[in-house]
Amino acid sequence: MDNYQIRKELYDAGSLYAGFDPADERSYETCYDGHVYADFIASGKRSRDLAVTLPRTLHDHSISDALYRFLADYDPYRIVGVMGGHAMKRSDASFRKVALISKKLTEHGKLMVSGGGPGAMEATHFGAWMAGRTDAELDGALQMLLAADTFRDAGWLSSAFRVMERFPQTQYHSLGIPTWLYGHEPSTPFATQIAKYYDNSIREDTILTIAVGGIIFTPGSAGTIQEIFQEAAQDHYKTCDVSSPMAFMGVDYFSREIPVYPFLQDMMARGKYHDLLLSISDEPEDIIREILSFRKEDAVHIPNKFFK
């Protein structure tokens, strides 16, 4: 079994991308993450070979162990998740909105969590990385990122590393939870802690479970819609002993284009869902206010039982 299969600590940009040279994006193929993804594909995403699946399972178990040890110091109400599509461009207005929301919430002591990939996920960790700086500095950093608008464009990963070099920080943290199942979508290095899994189902459930402080839903496709109803069921059944805010960013998108918001409202009115804390807005300030208004003393008390 290769020694990279077991982790005592979470990844970060330095360990996940060890061997990557921002001046040569082709070096991704031989860096740590590129090596693991190539092995994942070569040995089969759905392998039934115990010699393949057992090391993956042990790796994911060690990641979960490291994750919950990291979270042991966090009040669950401080943890806020962002769900949204990988297709969101850096040039989209929504990207800046997500970044601003994440920046402000991080400055208010929240630990921002996402699936750790591109699009809305990258915007989450980019915003957290820029916490403590001015909005003008965030906009300057965003201009640097526009050198590669999507993860499919050459320079996407390198431009992120250049922003991190130009705007270094060690004070603020954010947690990315990506997966090699979608390894063609590179993990954002802006996340200061990275829990990368082989098993995507563990990763999705983990994000929704740990984000007791609320989930912000941004425009996405099938995966985001699945996560909306997964969170709604979790809140309805009080799986985590509390209903957390479900804040939707995008009135037209979630009311008309993908009309899940009025559907959830109707289900609440007819008693099919109970205790969902729903809100929707296009304005970052409204979403920030909604998340910050959810306080431990206003909810059912839960111990830090997930993280110990």
- 70: in domain: no
CA proximity to 180, closest of 32, 51, 8: 32
Residue 295 has what pLDDT?
82
| Res 10 pLDDT > 50 | yes
pLDDT digits (tens, 9 = 90+) for 32-69: 999 999 999 999 999 999 999 999 999 999 999 999 99
| Res 177 pLDDT > 50 | yes
- 188: in domain: yes
Tokens of 158: 């390198």
- Give percent of the chain with pLDDT exceeding 70: 95
Tell me the average pLDDT across 196-208: 93
CA proximity to 87, closest of 126, 39, 123: 123
| Domain membership of residue 247 as a residue range | 76-299
Q: What is the pTM of this model?
A: 0.95
Coil vs helix vs strand at 80:
strand
CA proximity to 88, closest of 135, 150, 143, 146: 150
Residue 241 has what pLDDT?
87
| Res 120 pLDDT > 70 | yes
Please, which residues have CB within 8 angstroms of residue 37's CB and are 6 or more apart in sequence? 180, 183
pLDDT digits (tens, 9 = 90+) for 128-172: 999 999 999 999 999 999 999 999 999 999 999 999 999 999 999
Query: From CA 233, how far away is CA 237, in angstroms rounded?
Result: 6
CATH of the domain at 137: 3.40.50.450
- 122: in domain: yes
Residue 89 has what pLDDT?
98
| Count of C-beta atoms within a 10 Å radius of residue 269 | 9
| Count of C-beta atoms within a 10 Å radius of residue 42 | 9
Residue 49 has what pLDDT?
94
Say how many CA atoms lie within 13 Å of 72 toward its Cβ.
8
- 71: in domain: no
Amino acid at 148: A
| Res 85 pLDDT > 70 | yes
Q: Is the dihedral of CA 207, 212, 216, 220 positive or negative?
A: positive
Query: From CA 193, how far away is CA 104, in angstroms rounded?
Result: 19
- 18: in domain: no
| Count of C-beta atoms within a 10 Å radius of residue 202 | 18
Query: From CA 223, how far away is CA 20, in angstroms rounded?
Result: 29
- 41: in domain: no
- 27: in domain: no
Identify the residue whose tokens are 């929301």.
101
Q: What DSSP string describes 158-172?
A: HHHHHHHHHS--SS-
| Res 304 pLDDT > 80 | no
Q: How many domains does the structure of the chain reveal?
A: 1
pLDDT digits (tens, 9 = 90+) for 272-300: 999 999 999 999 999 999 999 998 766 65
CA proximity to 120, closest of 145, 87, 78: 87
CA proximity to 176, closest of 140, 123, 240, 249: 123
Identify the residue whose tokens are 């960013």.
249
* DSSP one-letter code for 77: G
Cβ–Cβ under 8 Å, residues 78 and 111: yes
- 106: in domain: yes
Query: From CA 155, how far away is CA 148, in angstroms rounded?
Result: 6
CA proximity to 115, closest of 256, 210, 3, 25: 210
Residue 243 has what pLDDT?
94
